[in-house]
Chains A and B, each alone.
Chain A
Amino acid sequence: MSAPGGPSPRRPAFAPLAEETRAAMRRLMARYPNPRSALMSMLYLVQAEHGCVSEAGIEEVAGMLDLTKAEVASVATFYTMLKREPLGRYLVSVCTQPPCALAGAGSLRRALEEELGVGFGQTTPDGAITLEEVECVCVCDGAPAVQVNYESYEHLTPEAAVELVRKLRSGGAVPPPVHGSVPVPREAIHRELAGLGGHDPDRGGGES
């Protein structure tokens, strides 16, 4: 998909979805009286496989649900957790809303941008980390907060944040956050968001 109306920049071409992804999508569709209800979950599965909601994925999902590509793109461009550019292995989301800003989110951002060499909305050239700005991750008491693949790290200093992304980048073990668990690679996260099994048994979401 492109910014509607604008000239579209060249996008990486994606392979057709794997047959097992399609089978998973069909299972999701079967969960609802109206298969269209599975649209968001199916887009997360596209994202699990392609790293973003690819044009190829939009076309396949539209075909399976008998929707137009415009209808699918309308949903895909509305939700901010559905991405249009391929994500890195880890998505680092920096909250910049007032509670975090007052607690030093600005210095966190500068430290991370300097360490990674990329700004908000960009991915490091090695494909390890995508840095983004988010609005409130609901741990204001832990400000400033940063999420890594949707696991929240609280009370981060710039040094601790830099240390965290270095470990993520080098593939080393990272400490678990105070609440939640060690971030898992994004494929697993997007499968979980799709409603197909969770890495954390406490959160449920197993295949039904």
Chain B
Amino acid sequence: MSAEVTVTIDGREIAVPAGTLVIRAAEMLDIYIPRFCDHPALAPHGACRQCMVEVEGQRKPLTACTTPVTQGMAVRTQHTSEMAREAQRGVLEMLLINHPLDCPVCDKGGECPLQDQTLAFGPGASRFAGEKRRYPKPVRISPLILLDRERCVLCARCTRFSSEISGDRFIALFERGALQQVAAYEDEPYESPFSGNIVQICPVGALTAEPFRFRARPFDLTSTPSVCTLCASGCRTIVQTRRGEVARILASEDPEVNEEWICDKGRFSFPRAQRPDRATEPLVRKDGELVAVSWAEAAALVAERVGSARERGAPIGVLSGGRLADEDAYALSRFARGVLGTADVDSRSWTADGEEDAVFASMLGSPGATYSDIEVSPLVLLLGCDPREESPILHLRLRKALNRRGSALFEVGPRATALAREPGARSILCSPGTEAGVLLSVAWLLVNPFGLPVDDATKEGLSSPGRAALRDASGVADEPVLALAEALRAAGGRAVILAGERLSRSPGALAVAWNLACALGARFGHVPRRGGFRGELWAGLHPRLLPGGRRVEDPAARAEVERVWGASLPPVAGRCARAILSEAGSLGALFLVGADPASDFAGFGASAVEAAPFVVAQDLFLTESSRRADVVLPARGPAERAGTSTDWEGRAAEFEAAVAPAGLSLADRDILAMLSGALGEAFPTRTRDLRAEMRVLERSPQAPAAVGAPTPALPEPDGLRPFSLVTYPLLLDAGTMLAGSGALLEIARRACVEMHPGDAAALGVSPGDPVRVASAMGEIVGPARLSAGLARGSVFVPANQEGLRALALVDPFAPVTAVRVERA
């Protein structure tokens, strides 16, 4: 397939795989051929004509970006060929006929390929004496993106990105000839969660982003390599600052992770750090009001109250929220278990039984799926995850696998994701909470008729009486289940199974998915929604897991941790977040570290925080929870401290601080060290000491091991509330980290109550009608939206959209919330 051919470029020979483009072969020889439209991640296009080279035997110059090399080809670039030089000069001169010379006021000035190439290769003066083409400026193609058409050189990078990479085909080249221009259709704005990428790849200043336009000159910015921690995608970024404030965030390149793309949430949500509700000094509640105090006073108060709780033997709860850097998460785990001596530690907002622990324990110690696995896998099974909303770069990689590699994708769940529209994708819609039944049926088919070897326990689990009932309740026909089983059998160990955290809402489903992966030898990936979750899980911010995925009930594992910490660990399993919160009144103290239960658990969480006698909140902001706390300890934000972040793959990446910390804030690990000191306990005070301990606690990789037979549970029907609520947060919502992000929030989707057309017809609901959704916890009213991509009997409401928060409906004690739906 990939036979090598030898080409000569500017007299230098190189052997490259057949099919390599001349421009790429030249790059391998460090020969730079000027270009505007060429982009390695996009298909060859040949629009700008800037990369003309001379090829021996051809009468006319050819575009290096569309010409594949052939055996013995002799290419001469502008460095050695007058023909190439002349052609490139001509193209540049033509592009500059209509391109304005407004570099001094253009945002791209200083980092503009057209400016650079004009300086390097262009003429000093123009022969064009006429008037340049002008347009009224600028066109707002979305709330975030502005287009100055007169600067555009029609390279089509933006439109090609939108169709090839992100699939949001809302911009196209309109008109023809000299009037050709990029445009969005009048009533169809370019609203894409990936829109900022087109600004970054625009080779001129035609596309600019509202949050950065006219704010700074590129050459005045200081760049710091960083990692985005807003979700678990793990994108490499460059944080650019001016006068100590973040001015913009760019995508950085990592072919193994985000290639060179980031989503708009990661790119445009940075104003969060400069918000008025930012916690900048320690606060202590005095006479009902939070008042600013010194760190010493705050630490002394915490030590006094926690000390007396420890003496009384009152339980102490410690919650994190998936937002910590790995070192901070580890420090918190060490502080909670080693210093406070509690096992009531959790970072999850869901409850799951022992099967999940076993999966996490094995997963943390074994190699899992990676982005690269996905790209080459013939079959991906996607469960309990909506990547476009929860891990956008994973969405792009899956899209790439489907469109470029011809992979297949099956998803099982109550709501079809955006990927279901891609070629090779198939959505199996099932009632919420019945995923385990569908997966058990798939596993049964693989094991029994297809003869997949599994251990006895697994085989026994497949015959559990719950399977058939659950399968019936799922509402899924036989054909898609058979198709999925056959696809998995065909793909075998090359399949990839991805499970999101919502899969845990179907008891047993995660364990079946994990066991399937083990039996097939397939790669498994757990995709959490928040960027810090994987690091927190590794650290042991889990009621039954110690650092490295060690089981708390395993004495040998406990001893390993005790040796490192020099402390004795409670040998008991702790309680999960919901259990801790539901008995908050009996706690001695509640620590919230980057956790906001009053938002995540709505009313239930808020009353729990109120009920707890002493609440310490370590947070960036005065959130719904921290404003109810007794002590608020200001923590440093993502760009304000160095650390490590682990993405969903388990891949760790270090980042540096890019800006000075807000006010008196400290890194979480430093706050915990200070509190330990106040309690008279030894604690590592330096990040490198924490890292050294973490390295010691790293387990050597093991093969993934199947977990015990899952115990699926049938969702209980509720006569008064016959619908099941499907809900999760969308990428852009009313979440804490996004507040204050201005134009970004304008592209947040308007919240709707989504229902199946059949259900809507039965209820007499038409699109746009107000619909009331009521659970035992509360009710909300929103406009109806009909979608066939939803299981019958389900209703989808985004968790936390401005004006419509399904979080207020969620029953914290049921895997699936039953609701009544009616026309309001």
Residues of A at the B interface (CB closer than 8 Å) are 1-2, 4-6, 8, 58, 67-71, 73-74, 77-78, 80
Contact = CB atoms under 8 A, between A and B. Distances in A.
Interface in B163-194: 169-176, 181, 183-188
Given A73-B174, A74-B174, A77-B174, A68 B136 contact: no
B558 interface: no
A89 B174 CA distance: 27
Nearest to B421: A66
Given A5-B139, A67-B169, A70-B170, A78 B183 contact: no
A69 B149 contact: no
A5 B183 contact: yes
A70 B175 contact: no
Interface in B110-167: 135-136, 139, 147, 149
Contacts of B136: 5-6
Contacts of A69: 185, 187-188
Nearest to A78: B176
A1 B51 CA distance: 35
A71 B183 contact: no
Contacts, number: 54
Given A70-B170, A70-B185, 18 more contacts: A4-B181, A4-B184, A5-B135, A5-B136, A5-B139, A5-B181, A5-B183, A8-B186, A67-B169, A68-B169, A68-B170, A68-B188, A69-B187, A70-B184, A70-B188, A74-B173, A77-B174, A77-B175
A134 B791 CA distance: 55
B757 to A, nearest CB: 16
Query: Which of A5, A67, A71, A80 neighbours the largest number of chain B CB atoms within 10 Å of its CB?
Result: A5
A74 B186 contact: no
Given A4-B174, A67-B169, A73 B185 contact: yes
B186 A2 contact: yes
Contacts of A58: 185
12 contacts: A4-B174, A4-B181, A4-B184, A4-B186, A5-B139, A5-B181, A6-B136, A68-B169, A69-B188, A70-B183, A70-B185, A78-B174
A68 B185 contact: yes
A71 B172 contact: yes
Contacts of B139: 4-5
A78 B135 contact: no
Contact of A70 (B135, B149, B171): B171
Contacts of A6: 136
Contacts of B187: 69
Given A68-B169, A70-B169, A4 B188 contact: no
A80 B187 CA distance: 23
Nearest to B180: A78
Interface in B41-90: none
A80 B175 CA distance: 9
Contacts of B170: 68, 70
Contacts of B135: 5
A36 to B, nearest CB: 12
Contact of B176 (A2, A67, A73, A77): A77
A68 B183 CA distance: 12
A6 B175 CA distance: 13
B230 to A, nearest CB: 28
B233 to A, nearest CB: 26
A132 to B, nearest CB: 16
A80 B149 CA distance: 22
Given A5-B135, A5-B136, A6-B136, A71 B169 contact: yes
Contacts of A77: 174-176
Contacts of A5: 135-136, 139, 147, 149, 181, 183
Nearest to B168: A68
B519 to A, nearest CB: 38
Given A67-B169, A70-B169, A70-B170, A1 B186 contact: yes
Contacts of A80: 176
A6 B172 CA distance: 16
Nearest to B169: A68
Contacts of B188: 68-70
B185 A78 contact: no
A77 B177 CA distance: 11
Contacts of A4: 139, 174-175, 181, 183-184, 186
Contacts of A8: 186
Contacts of B176: 77-78, 80
B547 to A, nearest CB: 49
